[in-house]
Amino acid sequence: MNVLPWAGFVADFPDDQIEAGGDIQVYGGRNVAVALGKIFADLGCSRVSEPWSAGEVGWEFDFYYGDRKNFWCRVQSFHPVFWLLFEDRSISDGQAYVELWRKFGSALERDPRFRRILWRTFKNGPPDWDEVEAASDPPALSFDEEFPPSKINARARRTSIWPYIIGVWLTMSGIGLPLDVLGSHNIWHQIRYFIAGIILLTVGAFFLFIAINQNRETPWPFRQRPDS
């Protein structure tokens, strides 16, 4: 089994969503994101950022763990139910991701402010609100009992460095190719090289996009509140 990046839970925090004139001015969940960031800091994570607004999908923050391994979280509020997405953004074999996820899952379970915690795979997506609210409290199985180390694949999040290499090479080639013919008096020769340069830049940018996002799960579509 891979690391389960989605969680749904009930959190005992005030609803910090701000509305005016029937419109949402500030989406809720920042206070929960701050609390989760503090939990990660207590687990030995460094450079935990202040949460930034991601609009209707909630609040996001990132941080580092271990040997410069970068991680990212998103919190989406459906007060008092919340969704959490926890991802590895580093180039690694996934061992740090598994280690930190297990520490975080256990810490979240021990924190009395969080309850009815359900973890889900990315494929299944976050649990529905009614599923979270109907979850047993306390749970029948602890986090460690439900997800023993033998069930989690430590290599599930391995990142390939080749998209970075190919992307950088194509991008640099796309920049350098037109420069090689700047002194040429053949206008059609220059045009062909400039077109080739644009194509290389486009393909290089595509590979860099893949490289940067290969550890990022596709964002789950935003859902309306059950009573909206």
CB atoms within 10 A of CB 3: 23
CATH architecture of 6-156: 2-Layer Sandwich (3.30)
Confidence of residue 222 (pLDDT cuts 50, 70, 90): very low
Comparison of pLDDT for 60 and 185, the residue scoring more: 60
The structural domains of the chain, with segments of one domain joined by +, span 6-156, 162-212
Whole-angstrom distance, CA of residue 68 vs CA of residue 62: 12
Comparison of pLDDT for 208 and 200, the residue scoring more: 200
Whole-angstrom distance, CA of residue 167 vs CA of residue 200: 9
Whole-angstrom distance, CA of residue 131 vs CA of residue 9: 10
DSSP 37-89: HHHHHHTT-BSPPPPEE-GGG-EEEEEEETTTEEEEEEEEEETTEEEEEEEE-
Q: 0.85 cut: is pTM over it?
A: no
Q: Are strands 59-65 and 69-78 parallel, antiparallel or unpaired?
A: antiparallel
* Tokens 């009815």 found at: 116
Model pLDDT for residues 29-79, shown as the tens digit of each residue: 999 999 999 999 999 999 999 999 999 999 999 999 987 789 999 999 999
What is each CA distance from 21 to 14, 27, 42, 125, in whole angstroms?
A: 21, 14, 40, 33
User: Which residues are within 8 A (CB) of 213 and not within 5 positions of it... i.e. 6 or more apart?
Assistant: none
Q: Does residue 131 contact residue 118 with C-beta atoms inside 8 Å?
A: yes
Position 151 scores a pLDDT of: 81
Mean pLDDT of the chain: 84
